[in-house]
Structure 1
Amino acid sequence: MANMFPVSSVDTCRLLDAGAGVGALSCAFLDRWKAGDHCFQQVEATAYEIDDRLRAHLTDHLAGYAGVTPNVIAGDYIELTAKPDFDSPGYTHAILNPPYKKINTGSAHRLALRSVGIETVNLYSAFVALAVAQMAPGGQIVAIIPRSFCNGPYYKPFREFVLKRAAIRHIHLFNSRSTAFKDDEVLQENIIISLECGGDQKDVTITTSTDDSFSDIASHVHPFNRIVFEADPERFIHVPTSAEEGAIERSSVVCCSPEEVGVKISTGPVVGFRMRSQLREMPEPGTVPLLYPNHFSSNGLGIVWPGESRKKPSAILRNDETEKWLYPNGFYCLVRRFSSKEEKRRIVARVLDPNEIGDSPMVGLENYFNVFHDKKKGLQKELAYGLAIYLNSTAVDQQFRRFNGHTQVNATDLKLMKYPDRDTLINLGSWALQQNEITQESIDMKMEETL
C-alpha cells in the first residue's frame, strides 16, 4: 500500500491514518519516506484510533521517526470530523484500513455523515468519503476496503461522491479471498484502491495477485471507460482482470434490459425458516412442490425433484397462509443467489420445467433463488431455456465478476445486466431443446457464435 503512492515532492506531508490501530500503515508510509522515495522535509501525521489499548503503541511508533510531528487523536473518526461546520485540514496523503460495519439508517453516524453531504451504509465507505472530503487538491489516498461498493444500489451515492471528487489511479484485486486474509476470516473480496483527489481521470492501472504474497502479480492499464461505463447511470466500478475486452463488451447483440426482453426478475418469495410449520420433507396430500437450489441438476439445465437424501424440504402446504407466496406452475428460469468466492461459476441458472414436478397447479420457490418470470407467471418455454443458456455462459460469468465482488447474486444485479433481444434468446432456447446433451463447452461455443 505504501508503494502505491506516487513519488511526491511537497515540502510538508500532512498524513491521515483514520482507524490507525498500532500504526502499521503509517509506519510503512514513513519507512518509504525515510528510504528516500519522497522529498518531504517534514511530516505531520494525524492518526485516529478509538481503542485505548492500541493508542499507546500507536503513539510510540509514530514518535520513533525524526522529522515527524505526530497527532494521535482518541475517539471516533466520524463523530469527531463529520460536523456541519466541517473544515478540511487539507491532508496531502491518507493511508487507510477502515473498519467494516453496517451503519443503521437512523444512527448518529448516519445523521452526522448526512450533515456533510455523505450518504453511505458502511463504516469503511464512510471513512473513505470523509478522507476524500478532507484532502487537499492533488491529495493521494490508498485504502484497503471490501469490493462491495463497486456495485449495487446502496453504494451508488458513495460511488457518485468519490467519482465526482477524485480520480481512480490504481486498483489491486486479490483473486483468492480465502488465502489473502485467511488469518482474519474475511468473508468479502477486498481490493486496494488508489485515488487522487481533484485529479483528472486518466487510464487506470489494474493489478491482480492470488494472495498477499504478491508472488504472481499481473498488471494491465485500462481506459477509464472500461472501469466505469459512460452510459451506466448506476456508476458501477468494473475491475477487468485481462487487457482484452470480454465477449459481452464486444458484442452488439447484448443490448436489452430485462423489461425490453419482456421478463421480470424477483427473489424467490418463500422464506423457508419463517414458514417451517408449512414445510414438508417430501410431498404428501395437500402440498405442492417446493424448490431449493439443491434441486438443481448437476448436469444439464433442469431440476431434480423431489430427489433423494435432500437436506432441504421438497414440499410446502397449500393453504390460505401460503397461497400468496406460491407461483403458478410453469416455465421459469431460476438463478442461485449464493455461491462461494472460489467456485468456478458465480452465476448458475436452471429451468423449471412444469413436467418435472408433476401436475401440481402451483409451486413454491425458495428465497435462495432469483426468478425470471412474466408478471409472476411462467415464461415461454424457449425463452426460459434461452435465458438459462445465456446466463450459464462463461462470457456472462466473466462479465459479472468484473463488477461484482460479492458471493451473492442479487436480483438488482441481474436487472442491471444487458441481455440479447427476445428473439435471440428464443432462438438459443430452441437450440437447447434440440440438443441431446448440454455441456459448458457446447454452451460457450453456441454463445460465441451468437455474440
Structure 2
Amino acid sequence: MTPAPVARFMASLFPPATQQVCHLLDAGAGVGALSCAFLDRLTSAKKLGFQNAVVEAYEIDDALRSHLETTLASYAGRLPVTYKVLSCDFIPEAVRKNLQGLRPFSHAILNPPYKKINSASEHRLVLRRVGIETVNLYSAFVALSLALMQPGGQLVAIIPRSFCNGPYYRPFREFLLRHAALRHLHLFGSRTKAFKDDDVLQENIIVRLERDGRQGHVTVSNSTDDSFADLSTHEHPFNRIVFPDDPERFIHVPPSLARSAIECAPGICFSLSEIGIGVSTGPVVDFRLQEHIQQKPSRGTVPLLYPGHFTGHTTRWPKDGIKRGNAIKLNAATKKWLYPNGFYTVARRFSAKEERRRIVASVVTPARFPDALMLGFENHLNVFHEDKRGLPENLAHGLTAFLNTTAVDDHFRRFNGHTQVNATDLRLMKYPSRSALIALGKWARAQGALTQAMLDDQLKTLAE
C-alpha cells in the first residue's frame, strides 16, 4: 500500500535502459501502486527507453489481487504492456525458479511485507536451499528478487533500515554486497511521516541495487517525508557507506557531506578491545529465570537491574512498579548469569519511538548495593565491563560521560535506523583512549550535576 508520491519517487530512480523489452518484477504488489508508477514512465518525459514491458506481479490477498488485475489490465489496454498476476507464495516460487537457473527480470520494484521468519519455519528452510539466510520476509523478498535479476538488472525497494546494522542481518548484507552494487540510498527524516496511515516503528529506506554491478560512488538523498519538498542529494565514496575494516559490513547513511564530530576527532580512534573494555547484552533473560525473580529483596537474593532502574544519572533501586521484580535469588541456577558487584557502565538496548536520544548510558555504583556480592543485569541492558567484572571507577564515569554526549548520539544515528542499540553496534564504535576516558571520569565526578552542554563542551577538549 505504497503512497503515490513514494511510488513515483521510487520509479524515478531507475536509470534509462538500453534493452527493447523490460521484464518487471513486483513481489508483494498489493493494488499495484509501484507497478503503475513504473509503467507511467513509459509515457512520461523521463522515459526509461524500452518499447515494451512485461510485468510479473505477486499478491496472495484475494481482494488486493482483484484490484491489481483491474489496474494492470487498464495499462495493457492502452500501452505496450503484457502482465501476469500470480497468487502463489513468492518465496517458494522464487526459490524454484532460482534452482532452475532462471534470471528473467531486468527490473524489480518492491515494497515487501514485513514479518519475522522463525528459524524452524518452512520459509527459512526453503530459503536455505538457495543460500539465503535471513530473519524477515522483507529481506527474503529482496534477496530472492535480486537472485532472479539479469546482469545489470535494476532493483528499487522500500524496506526498514534495520538491515543496515546488527548481527541478525549480516548474512543478508553480505548477500546484497556480493551480488549487487549499491547505487542509491534515500532516507526519510521522520519515522512517522513517510507512511502516515501506518504505525511505523522504525525508519524506512529506499535502496537501488544493480545486479552484478561494479561498485562505485553511492548517491544518498534525504527528505523529511513523502512530499519530498526538502529533497537533498549528495554523493559519497563507497568506503564512507561500508567501512573497509568493518567485519560486520554495516551500511552507513550519511545525512550530508559533512563528517560527524566523532569521525573528525583524531583522538577518538580506539576500539573497545584496544582500551581493555568489553560490552555484552545483559545475561539475565527474565522469562527463563522467572521462578528465581522476586519483587522485594530478601536474604539470599541480589539486585536485578532493568532499564527502568536508571533515570538520567541516578539509579533507583529497589523501585515500585518494575514489572518482573527487583531481585534475583543467588543460587546454582542463577550464579553463572550474574556479575560481581562493582562499577559498570550500562546503556539501554531500546529507546522509545521518536525519543530524542538513542544512546542513554548510566553508571552502576557498588555503594548503591553495599550488601550485594553479585548483580543481575537484565537482557534489555548493554553492560560495559572488564572480563565480566567491574570497571575502575573513573573509567566507568568517563565512558558514561562520553556515551552521553550529543556527538556520540549523532554519530550513532548515522548507521542505526531503528530503536535498538545492540552490543555489536557499541563494540564497533570508536572511543577515546583509556587514559582520556579516565581523565574524563575524574572531571565528571568533580562536577556534581552534569548538563548536556557541559558534556559536549568537555568532549571538544577530549577529541583534540
Cα 1:103–1:310, aligned 2, differ >3 Å: closer, same or farther?
closer
Corresponding residue number in structure 2 for 1:350: 362
Corresponding residue number in structure 2 for 1:23: 32
Q: Any conservation in 2 of the 1:149–1:155 contact (CA below 8 Å)? A: yes
- Distance in 2 (CA, whole Å) between partners of 1:46 and 1:327 is 56
**1:379 is the counterpart of 2:391:** yes
1:47 aligned to which of 57, 65, 70: 57
- Distance in 2 (CA, whole Å) between partners of 1:290 and 1:87 is 54
Corresponding residue number in structure 1 for 2:4: none
Corresponding residue number in structure 1 for 2:67: 57
Map 1:106-255; keep pairs closer than 5 Å.
106-255=120-269
Q: Deviations along 1:381-422, whole A, 9 cap, x unmatched? A: 111112112211222212211111121111222222222222
Corresponding residue number in structure 1 for 2:81: 68
- Distance in 2 (CA, whole Å) between partners of 1:212 and 1:387 is 39
Map 1:362-373; keep pairs closer than 5 Å.
362-373=374-385
**AA of the residue aligned to 1:20:** A
**1:428 is the counterpart of 2:440:** yes
**1:331 is the counterpart of 2:343:** yes
Corresponding residue number in structure 1 for 2:7: none
Q: State the shift of 1:276 in Å.
A: 4.3
Q: Any conservation in 2 of the 1:256–1:420 contact (CA below 8 Å)? A: yes
Q: Deviations along 1:61-91, whole A, 9 cap, x unmatched? A: 1111221011222211121121363323332
Of 83-92 and 155-164, deviating more is: 83-92
- Distance in 2 (CA, whole Å) between partners of 1:371 and 1:109 is 35
Q: State the shift of 1:222 in Å.
A: 1.8
- Distance in 1 (CA, whole Å) between partners of 2:74 and 2:251 is 39
Q: Any conservation in 2 of the 1:432–1:438 contact (CA below 8 Å)? A: yes
**1:295 is the counterpart of 2:309:** yes
Corresponding residue number in structure 1 for 2:41: 32
Map 1:298-317; keep pairs closer than 5 Å.
298=312, 301-306=313-318, 313-317=325-329
Q: State the shift of 1:241 in Å.
A: 1.0
Q: Deviations along 1:98-149, whole A, 9 cap, x unmatched? A: 1122223343323332332322222211211122222222221110111111
Cα 1:112–1:287, aligned 2, differ >3 Å: closer, same or farther?
closer
Count of matched residue pairs: 449
Q: Deviations along 1:160-212, whole A, 9 cap, x unmatched? A: 22112222221111222223224222323211111122323222222222222
Q: Any conservation in 1 of the 2:338–2:376 contact (CA below 8 Å)? A: yes
- Distance in 2 (CA, whole Å) between partners of 1:375 and 1:360 is 19
Q: Any conservation in 2 of the 1:49–1:75 contact (CA below 8 Å)? A: yes
Q: State the shift of 1:283 in Å.
A: 3.6
Of 186-195 and 173-182, deviating more is: 173-182
Q: Any conservation in 2 of the 1:281–1:314 contact (CA below 8 Å)? A: yes
- Distance in 2 (CA, whole Å) between partners of 1:238 and 1:279 is 40
Q: Any conservation in 1 of the 2:293–2:324 contact (CA below 8 Å)? A: no
Corresponding residue number in structure 1 for 2:429: 417
Q: Any conservation in 2 of the 1:176–1:341 contact (CA below 8 Å)? A: no
**1:80 is the counterpart of 2:93:** yes
Q: Any conservation in 2 of the 1:302–1:353 contact (CA below 8 Å)? A: no
**1:104 is the counterpart of 2:113:** no
Q: Deviations along 1:215-253, whole A, 9 cap, x unmatched? A: 333332222211111111211100111220112222332
**AA of the residue aligned to 2:449:** E
Cα 1:380–1:179, aligned 2, differ >3 Å: closer, same or farther?
same
Q: Any conservation in 2 of the 1:271–1:366 contact (CA below 8 Å)? A: yes
Corresponding residue number in structure 2 for 1:441: 453
2:410 aligned to which of 387, 398, 404: 398
Scaled by the length of structure 1, the TM-score of the pair is 0.93
Scaled by the length of structure 2, the TM-score of the pair is 0.90
Q: Any conservation in 1 of the 2:234–2:257 contact (CA below 8 Å)? A: yes
